[in-house]
Amino acid sequence: MKELMVYLNGKMVPESQASLPLSDSGFLWGDTVYECARTFNFKPFKLREHIQRLYRSLKMTRIDLAMGPEELETVSLELLEVNRELFGGGEDVWINHDVTRGRYAWERWVRPEARDRYPATVIIQTPALEFTVFAKYYRSGVHIITPSVRQMPHICIDPKIKHRSRLHFFLAELEVKEVDMEGFSLLLDLEGSLTENKGGNFFLVTDGVLRTPPPQNILCGVSRATVLDLARELGIPAVEESLHPYDAYNAQEAFLTSTPYCILPVSRFNGLPIGEEVPGPLTRKLLKAWQELVELDFVQQALDHLPR
């Protein structure tokens, strides 16, 4: 049986042979920027937007990537093609990019000319989407919990850089799991406003208006942008504004957005019920519009993967 291939520094290698030296700066210092896109019916969704954001992350972290965005996109599509035959009907995959600063060596810090000797590490992967992880929440909704761990302030690392120094997200998640094994975290920023979690953005609905935290303290997800676009097309008013727990407790609807699940309804916030039905009417409308956009009922697709 054939094995999934991985793109690693210019070569396609079988997944089982792809690994990282212990001296890689990505492992040693969380010095990696990355992106995660997905396919619908094996068609990449907004891959270009993901790649553009990757290059913004590269710029601010000053990681020099020899390859340009067009070439990276081409290689990604080639890899997707190579791996295509391993997946059956009803499946879809991630398209994941990781770029680290490459091998860590003190020399590169004191001799600029030495930097060329340590090229960035580039990894592209297309693993299967794990629908069972989130499928059931389309129906039951997610329980959101705000941990005491706070969102990283942008003056330390701007959350708009999608990077892998994410231990604080784990500390937050671990605290949440103490409360509810199936809870999802939602981090507050230092001032106490709602931000995001490890992979998702947050929306709520009050008085028929879609509200979501502003770009300042979050990673502006591609899924978040998709929802705002769909809302505009559907004539649903939407604002980006500072939101507090009070707003979540009293929302009529709420949901998370993220690449694998697109939109996942929220049913509880710190133990209290949100809204009257799950998903709420506006959430359903947005889900429907997204499904039409990608010509796939991805909710049903996910539910089909649940064990009977």
φ, ψ of residue 33 to 5 degrees: the values are -110, 155
DSSP 275: S
13 contacts a copy of itself (rule: CB under 8 A): no
Closer CB to a copy of itself, residue 24 or residue 291?
A: 24
Contacts of 267 (CB under 8 A, 6+ apart): 140, 141, 142, 143, 273, 274, 275, 278
Selected from 77, 167, 239, 306, the binder of a copy of itself by CB under 8 A is: 167
Interaction mask 100-139, a copy of itself, x per CB under 8 A: -x----x--xxxx----------x-x----x--x------
Q: Determine contact, residues 80/44, Cβ cutoff 8 Å.
A: yes
270 interacts with a copy of itself by CB under 8 A: yes
- Binding test (CB under 8 A) with a copy of itself, winner from 1, 2, 22, 276: 22
Q: Which is nearer to a copy of itself, 78 or 180 (CB)?
A: 180
User: Which residues in 175-307 belong to E strands, given as ranges?
Assistant: 184-185, 201-206, 209-212, 238-240, 253-258, 262-269, 272-273
- Tell which one of 46, 160, 288, 305 touches a copy of itself (CB under 8 A): 160
Stretch that binds a copy of itself, among 20-28, 40-48, 224-232, 283-291 (CB under 8 A): 20-28
* DSSP state string for 104-166: --THHHH-GGGGGGSPPEEEEE-PBP-GGGTTTHHHH-EEEE--SSBPPPTTTS-TTS-BS--
Dihedral angle computed from the Cα positions of residues 307, 6, 34 and 56, in that order, rounded to the nearest 10 degrees? -130
Kindly state whether residue 164 participates in binding a copy of itself, applying the rule CB under 8 A: yes
Q: Work out which of 12, 40, 103, 216 binds a copy of itself, going by CB under 8 A.
A: 216
Out of 67, 75, 86, 157, the only residue in the binding site for a copy of itself (CB under 8 A) is 157
| Contact between 307 and a copy of itself per CB under 8 A | no
Inter-residue contact 159 to 216 (CB < 8 Å): no
Q: Least distance to a copy of itself from the beta carbon of 288, Å? A: 27
- Asked if 304 is part of the footprint of a copy of itself (rule: CB under 8 A), the reply reads no
Nearest to 151 by CA among 204, 219, 211: 219
* Nearest-angstrom CA–CA distance, 147 and 187: 6
For the bound state, the minimum distance from the C-beta of residue 218 to a copy of itself, rounded and expressed in Å, comes to 12
**Per-residue x/- mask for a copy of itself, residues 55 to 94, rule CB under 8 A?**
-x--xxxx--------------------------------
Site stretch for a copy of itself (CB under 8 A), options 38-46, 66-74, 244-252, 290-298: 244-252
Q: Residue 148 or residue 233: which is nearer to a copy of itself going by CB?
A: 148
- The rounded distance, in Å, linking the Cα atoms of 196 and 77 is 30
